[in-house]
Amino acid sequence: MNNTNCLLCLSGIHFDIGSNNVTLHCHCEIPHGRLIGVLGPNGCGKSSLFKALVGEIPYSGEISYFGKSFADVREQVGYLPQHIEIPFDFPISVEEFIAVGSPHYFKFKWPWQKRNDSEKVRDIMAKLAIEHLARAQLSELSGGEQRRVYLGRLLMQDSKLFFLDEPLAGVDEQGEELIVKIWRELVDQGKTVLVVHHDLETVKEIFDEVLVFKHNHIEHFSVDKGSLGSPYKELLTA
């Protein structure tokens, strides 16, 4: 399994979550430039797979990125965890938080050297309709606003691949439309977005493809080829 045309290839992934050992039987070849829904019941390993991919939990199995080791590109992946575990009383403004996503942010600079990311930060805040919150503290934001700000930090990263774990949780309808539009823009730029999603009613209108987790298997379906009348629903409910 070393397909150099395939953005992400997964084969036989195994990881430990606490005292549970989970083996996911899969052979998925995920192409680039697609918006992919990740579906499955609670506890089936969706979030754990994302955590394993970004290096937060150890795993065994094959994961390659354009035929190369995924570990080499891990730092460039945009990852939104399901539970945002940052202290929201930390003194940091929204624009400062988004700027952290910049690719140069962790490179050494002398104190008198400026980072020149402010224009990009402003563009991203405009895109997410949060310009008015630029000076606000994270602690002053609602849950939905925090999700948008977090997405803003990911957009600063210039990643080619995004793993978003339930990014629409707590987001209102208007915010949901805006966020889905941004995902679509990323995909149009050739980027790939994988999203853990639970609302089966909206799967078809949002995603190009889906990965369905069921009984330790991952099935990969394309939505737009019409192969998905509703087999993924059957897989989920069977």
Partner 1 sequence: MIEWLIAPWIYPFMRAAFTMIILLGLLGGMAGTIVVTQRTALQVESLAHALLPGLILAYLWMGRSTWSLMLGGVFAVILTRLLSFAFSLHQRTDHTTGSAIVIGFNFSLGLLLLSLYRNELPISLDHFILGDLLAVSATDNGFAAIVVMMLFILLILFYSPVKVFLFDASYAARRGWPHLFTRIVLEVVISIATILSFQAVGLVLTLALMIIPAATAQLIAKHLWQMFLLGGILGALEGITGLVIAYHMDLPSTPPIIMISVAVYTLLLLQQRLYSKI
Q: Which of 14, 74, 198, 220 binds partner 1 (CB under 8 A)?
A: 74
Q: Which of 59, 57, 51 is nearest to 24 (CA)?
A: 59
Pick between residue 66 and residue 105 the one whose CB is nearest to partner 1.
Answer: 105
Q: CA 80 to CA 195: how far, in whole Å?
A: 9
**Neighbouring C-beta atoms of residue 200, cutoff 10 Å:** 15
**Neighbouring C-beta atoms of residue 48, cutoff 10 Å:** 20
Pick between residue 79 and residue 232 the one whose CB is nearest to partner 1.
Answer: 79
Q: Least distance to partner 1 from the beta carbon of 117, Å?
A: 11
* Furthest-apart CA atoms within the chain: distance in Å: 61
Cβ-contact 80, 155 below 8 angstroms: no
Q: Is 98 in the site for partner 1 (CB under 8 A)?
A: no
Residues in contact with partner 1, shown as a per-residue x/- string from 28 to 57 under the rule CB under 8 A: --------------------------xxx-
Q: Is 226 in the site for partner 1 (CB under 8 A)?
A: no
Pick between residue 54 and residue 236 the one whose CB is nearest to partner 1.
Answer: 54
Within 99-158, which residues bind partner 1 (CB under 8 A)?
Answer: 100, 105-106, 108-111, 135, 137
Within 163-182, which residues bind partner 1 (CB under 8 A)?
Answer: none
Q: Which of 16, 96, 176, 219 binds partner 1 (CB under 8 A)?
A: 96
Q: Is 87 in the site for partner 1 (CB under 8 A)?
A: yes
- φ, ψ for residue 105 (rounded to 5)? -60, -35
Give 114's contacts (C-beta < 8 A, 6+ positions apart): none
Q: Give the CA distances from residue 186 to residues 35, 105, 110, 181, in Å, rounded to whole numbers and listed in that order.
A: 9, 22, 33, 9
Cα–chain-centroid distance for residue 204? 18
Size of the site for partner 1 (CB under 8 A): 26
Footprint of partner 1 (CB under 8 A): 18, 54-56, 74-75, 77, 79, 85-87, 89-93, 96, 100, 105-106, 108-111, 135, 137
